[in-house]
């Protein structure tokens, strides 16, 4: 019996075991071929097992001719076959109608009856849209490997009760990430309280954080619950914790370590059950070494550290983020705008030192200047007063990379463009001036 026949036999015998799982699940061999699919998978995606057995998992789930790890994603197949250990990731999968959805993948090592190793891939469907969580007027949007890795780390960290330190450049959405942690946690029904450490003077620290009793100081007319007490049962988000003066750091550490406190002017010891999430764009370890940040507070806050990628490391997410921002702008201004393809490509080639906040400002100005509902390249003001704010790649270079054929870039340009746009075939097709179907055909041939 040849290897493929052995694999098929194993798949048929193990399929009954897969059917015991309520979530969609497939069995995959070492060559990325689907061997079996349970009833939950067939019902969820409207396919028969016979339609996908023998085909590659990345072809079915990602509509890609290459394994996901070759596109920069965390691949459960690669992890399970190399370590033999279970592996969990967050991915974007495509259904048979080409609709994208966020899913959580749990990969398990399974041994076949013929002694062959397999990956059992359980799929937990999370959402049908790019939108993951909303905070005020902003949404977490993205499909890039960098975004999905970050979102996976956020979701895994949220399941714990440990303090979390978010690190990222200004404008990457640290408050939104903190809101997502709260949303994914067991405390989601509790309050989410934000403390802006940049606007908290020493004289108001105890009053704002711990609260006060009537008559605690001149002009104090009544009792006030502090922010720490208000966050009881929920999450306290300390934004830009690196700006907290040393004197306040010592006071705050004592509260965090015990959860106990007294209101200013009060004699009663109170207690609050609070999960702390802190955020900074500074290197706190360097600040600890320079003695400008307390080491004990740092280790108390950084039980789990999550880094948020800058926009330049997730360029393929820019069009989706821009669409959401333009929808918000349109709702506020009573209009409707969309980007031309050239404007979209130009934005994807820009470094965005101010990240999503800068993108929002650029789009607001472009919408105000645009002559119509379509924002053109000339409407985009990317030469801001900050000298760093210049496109890292000229628009001509993005649209016409090396290797043109009859005035257009050919298949030889694919690797560089795929890397530039994070594997997003639509952006690659736009940059090359060809259809997405053509790009897909070239990839299959290559």
Q: Give me the chain's average pLDDT, please.
A: 82
Query: What is the per-residue pLDDT for 139?
Result: 73
* Residue 289 burial class via C-beta count within 10 angstroms: exposed 0-12, middle 13-18, buried 19 and up: exposed
- Placement of tokens 């990345």 in the chain: 58
Q: Are 278 and 164 in contact (CB under 8 A)?
A: yes
Query: What is the per-residue pLDDT for 395?
Result: 42
CA distance between the termini of the chain = 32
Q: What are phi and psi of 255, to 5 degrees?
A: -70, -45
Write the Ramachandran bin of 325: left for phi over 0, alpha for psi from -120 to 50, otherwise beta.
alpha
pLDDT band at 384 (very low <50, low <70, confident <90, very high): very low
426 membership: H or E segment, kind and range: helix 425-432
pTM of the entire predicted model: 0.71
Tokens found for residue 367: 């919408």
pLDDT band at 422 (very low <50, low <70, confident <90, very high): low
Alpha-carbon torsion angle 157, 158, 164, 165, nearest 10? 80
Question: pLDDT tens digits for 16-69?
Answer: 678 888 889 999 999 999 999 999 999 888 889 889 999 999 999 888 888 888
- Complete DSSP assignment for 278-338: EEESS-HHHHHHTTSS-HHHHHHH-SEEEEPPPGGG-GGGHHHHHHHHHHHHHHHHT---E
Question: pLDDT tens digits for 187-213?
Answer: 999 999 999 988 877 777 778 888 878
* CA 146 vs CA 40, 141, 150, 316, 408: distances in Å: 30, 12, 6, 10, 30
pLDDT band at 164 (very low <50, low <70, confident <90, very high): very high
Separation of alpha carbons 356 and 173, rounded Å: 7
Query: What is the per-residue pLDDT for 399?
Result: 37
Beta bridge partners of 77: none
Residues 383-396: b if buried by 16+ CB within 10 A, e if exposed:
eeeeeebebebebe
Pairing between β-strand 100-111 and β-strand 117-127 as defined by DSSP bridges: antiparallel
| Residues 6+ positions from 384 with CB-CB distance below 8 Å | 358
pLDDT band at 392 (very low <50, low <70, confident <90, very high): very low
Query: What is the per-residue pLDDT for 383?
Result: 55
Question: pLDDT tens digits for 209-246?
Answer: 888 787 666 666 677 888 999 999 999 999 999 998 88
In the predicted model, is pLDDT for residue 359 greater than 90? yes
Query: What is the per-residue pLDDT for 44?
Result: 87
pLDDT band at 431 (very low <50, low <70, confident <90, very high): low
Separation of alpha carbons 200 and 239, rounded Å: 11
pLDDT band at 406 (very low <50, low <70, confident <90, very high): very low
């Amino acid at each position: 019996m040849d290897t493929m026949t052995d694999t098929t036999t194993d798949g048929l015998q193990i399929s009954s075991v897969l059917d015991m799982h309520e979530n969609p699940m497939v069995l995959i061999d070492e060559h990325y071929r689907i061997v079996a699919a349970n009833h939950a998978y067939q019902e969820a995606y409207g396919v028969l097992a016979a339609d996908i057995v023998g085909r590659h998992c990345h072809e079915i789930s990602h509509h890609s001719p290459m394994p996901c790890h070759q596109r920069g994603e965390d691949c459960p197949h690669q992890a399970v076959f190399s370590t033999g250990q279970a592996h969990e990731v967050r991915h974007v999968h495509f259904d048979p109608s080409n609709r994208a959805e966020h899913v959580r993948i749990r990969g398990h090592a399974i041994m076949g009856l013929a002694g062959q190793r397999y990956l059992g891939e359980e799929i937990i469907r999370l959402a049908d849209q790019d939108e993951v969580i909303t905070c005020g007027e902003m949404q977490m949007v993205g499909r890039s490997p960098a975004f999905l890795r970050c979102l996976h780390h956020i979701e895994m960290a949220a399941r714990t009760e440990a303090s979390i330190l978010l690190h990222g450049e200004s404008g990457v959405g640290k408050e939104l990430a903190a809101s997502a942690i709260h949303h994914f946690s067991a405390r989601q029904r509790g309050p989410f309280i934000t403390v802006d450490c940049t606007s908290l003077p020493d004289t108001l620290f105890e009053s704002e954080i711990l609260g006060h009793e009537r008559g605690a100081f001149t002009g104090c007319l009544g009792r006030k619950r502090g922010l720490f007490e208000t966050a009881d049962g929920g999450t306290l988000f300390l934004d830009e914790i690196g700006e907290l003066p040393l004197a306040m750091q010592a006071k705050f550490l004592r509260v965090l370590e015990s959860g106990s406190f007294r209101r200013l002017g009060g004699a009663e010891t109170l207690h609050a059950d609070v999960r702390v999430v802190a955020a900074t764009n500074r290197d706190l370890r360097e600040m600890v070494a320079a003695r400008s940040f307390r080491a004990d507070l740092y280790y108390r806050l950084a039980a789990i550290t999550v880094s948020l990628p800058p926009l330049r490391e997730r360029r393929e997410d820019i069009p989706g983020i821009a669409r959401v921002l333009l929808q918000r702008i349109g709702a506020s201004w009573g209009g409707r705008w969309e980007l031309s393809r050239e404007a979209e490509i130009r934005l994807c080639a820009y470094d965005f030192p101010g990240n999503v906040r800068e993108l929002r400002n650029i789009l607001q100005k472009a919408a105000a200047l645009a002559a119509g509902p379509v924002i053109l390249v000339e409407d985009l003001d990317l030469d801001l007063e900050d000298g760093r704010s210049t496109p890292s790649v000229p628009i001509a270079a993005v649209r016409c990379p090396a290797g043109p054929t009859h005035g257009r870039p050919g298949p030889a340009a694919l690797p560089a463009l795929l890397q530039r746009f994070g594997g997003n075939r639509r952006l690659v097709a736009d940059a090359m001036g060809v259809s997405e179907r053509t790009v897909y055909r070239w990839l299959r041939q290559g």
